[in-house]
Structure 1
Amino acid sequence: SVSLTEREQVLGALLAAGINLRQQVLGGVAAASVGDAGDQARVLIDRGCRGVLLAPPFYFKNVTDEGLYRWFSQVCEKIGQRARDVFLYHIPSVTQAALSIDLIGRLKVAFPKVVVGVKDSGGDWAYTEKLLRTHADLILLIGDERHLAAGVRLGAQGAISGLANVCPAILLKLIEAGEEDPRVIRLVNELLEFPVTPAVKALIAHRANDPAWLNVRPPLVALSEAQAARLAGAYDAIFA
């Protein structure tokens, strides 16, 4: 729901605020076509972002590994010689296009100086474990906070996490120690009772005491007042 023009404006605002994009910003790319994905990625690279989080195409369903391999390959070629630091984004609940362990291996071999990591937001521990054991040479980032501690113990380097917007210090301790925090698991389970992005924003609004954080863009819809209150109450009870 953020246009290409707005993405450029956001990057400009971050730079103006003194944010080091090379160290602190991994930019997301989500597009159905090779051309659009390449254009989005080039904006991020030209601005000097740390890397590109590249999701698979999402319009056609039940696509094959071969089809996904060709799509990712053409995106990397479209970016050209500037292509670098691409993190493949496994989030099948959204894209309906899972990145198989074998597909990741093919892309890693084909683009060894470009494909450097994977973000795993699949929420399937069996997949996560196999990914970590098979591709330990890649930077592996966990999306499901319930698997973060176990993932770190197997070599995951960290997370790109919705809850990092809510309780970053708690997640940092979890990553540094590799020890489970039952509170995090409980909070994720509560979040999953609602659409995730509106729920995360509702928690930020609760913690910041700022209802502006409840706003989302179509097609997402903000939580109702009752839903937001229920989630806030659960959060307060978990971290009391």
Structure 2
Amino acid sequence: MFSGSIPALATPFRDGAVDEAAFRRLVDWQIENGSSALVPCGTTGEASTLDNDEHHRVIGLCAEQAAGRVKIIAGCGSNDTQTALWHIKESTAAGADAVLIVAPYYNRPSQEGLLAHFSYLAERSVLPIVLYNVPGRTVTDISPDTVIELRRRFPEKIVAIKDASGDLARVTAHRLGAGADFCQLSGDDPLALAGYALGQVGCISVTANVAPRLCANFHAAAAAGDFDRARELHDRLFPLHRALFSDASPSPVKYALARLHDWLTDEVRLPIAPCSQPARQAVDAALTSVGLT
């Protein structure tokens, strides 16, 4: 259902508020530069610091501005099942094409709890669901067995996973257990090249915020099996992959975007602090190395 370079969009702020005009320009710029789908209100979009009205407004803006040119995968996860369902309903009304549901964080449910949580949402969602496993942030890990069981129970609804576990062996486990038509997306830009060899078909990306055309070209080469070209682009992008996590995300992303576009600021919301000076230096060097400045 999804493939290629899919940015987890940053949410622009100006003077403490969502900068709607800048966000619309960001959506257009991403589509014009080859991004194959868009994810509003993910981790990079600072969804955890948006209030609910802002959250739903950003998803609506994204769908409205994209106007069917690419698919919209709305971030709808929560550590409360009813809140996640509310986000799903609002995203459906706003025109999203699918929803991204992160494993519930903080309350650390068991695998049985994860099965019940995602099953409850799958039974009530009109939209297809992309599971999001990022145990480094949530503590909770959606095991391959749980992914496979969810896919078995809801083959028309549980359609994909964004895997940011860092465990590439899971790509094979998911493919063999959930089927080759189960859409697997990397959640780690530096691992996307290896993921293609194992069966992933794209990446929900941080780096694509900053270098959408290069990321789109990388994914096109990898999907075509041109691994010499894909490796060349991977190596070119690698310093940027690393620099964008040289401080708490998404502060380096927002600093990089502000360096590239005068219509964007580097504003973040607490508890994320502005990008540190060492991280700024790392981003500056990476932007030059990649050829963006």
Range of TM-score over shorter length: 0.7 to 0.9
Any gaps of 5 or more consecutive residues in structure 1?
none
Secondary structure at 1:213's aligned position in 2? coil
Residue 233 to residue 148, structure 1, CA distance change in 2 (3 Å): same
Which one of the candidate residues 158, 165, 169 is aligned to 1:115?
A: 158
Deviations 1:118-170 (A, max 9, x none): 01122333334433454322111112111212222333221210111111111
The answer to whether residue 240 in structure 2 is matched with residue 193 in structure 1 is no
* Partner of residue 102, structure 1: 145
Structure-2-length-normalised TM-score: 0.73
In the aligned structure 2, how far is the partner of 1:54 from the partner of 1:21? 22
* Paired residues for 1:22-41 under 5 Å: 23-41=70-88
* Partner of residue 197, structure 2: 153
* Partner of residue 168, structure 2: 125
C-alpha displacement of 1:24: 2.6
Count of residues in correspondence between the two structures: 234
Any gaps of 5 or more consecutive residues in structure 2?
1-48, 223-229
Which one of the candidate residues 91, 116, 125 is aligned to 1:70?
A: 116
Q: Is the 8 A contact 2:240 2:283 kept in 1?
A: no
Q: Is the 8 A contact 2:246 2:282 kept in 1?
A: no
C-alpha displacement of 1:237: 2.8
Q: Is the 8 A contact 1:84 1:113 kept in 2?
A: no
Q: Is the 8 A contact 2:73 2:96 kept in 1?
A: yes
Instruction: Report the residue type matching 2:196 in the other structure.
Output: V
Instruction: Report the residue type matching 1:239 in the other structure.
Output: G
Instruction: Report the residue type matching 2:115 in the other structure.
Output: Y
In the aligned structure 1, how far is the partner of 2:221 from the partner of 2:207? 18
Residue 119 to residue 16, structure 1, CA distance change in 2 (3 Å): closer
Which one of the candidate residues 4, 9, 13 is aligned to 2:61?
A: 13
Instruction: Report the residue type matching 2:53 in the other structure.
Output: T
What root-mean-square deviation, in Å, do the aligned CA atoms of Structure 1 and Structure 2 show?
2.2
C-alpha displacement of 1:21: 5.4
* Paired residues for 1:185-224 under 5 Å: 185-209=238-262, 212-224=264-276
The answer to whether residue 226 in structure 2 is matched with residue 173 in structure 1 is no
- Which of the two has greater helix per residue? 1
The percentage of counterpart residues that share the same residue type is 26
Bigger RCO of structures 1 and 2 (CA < 8 A, at least 6 apart) = 2
Deviations 1:95-137 (A, max 9, x none): 1111111100111111121111001122333334433454322
Q: Is the 8 A contact 2:115 2:146 kept in 1?
A: yes
In the aligned structure 2, how far is the partner of 1:111 from the partner of 1:16? 29
Structure-1-length-normalised TM-score: 0.87
Residue 106 to residue 134, structure 1, CA distance change in 2 (3 Å): closer
Which one of the candidate residues 58, 67, 75 is aligned to 2:105?
A: 58
C-alpha displacement of 1:190: 2.8
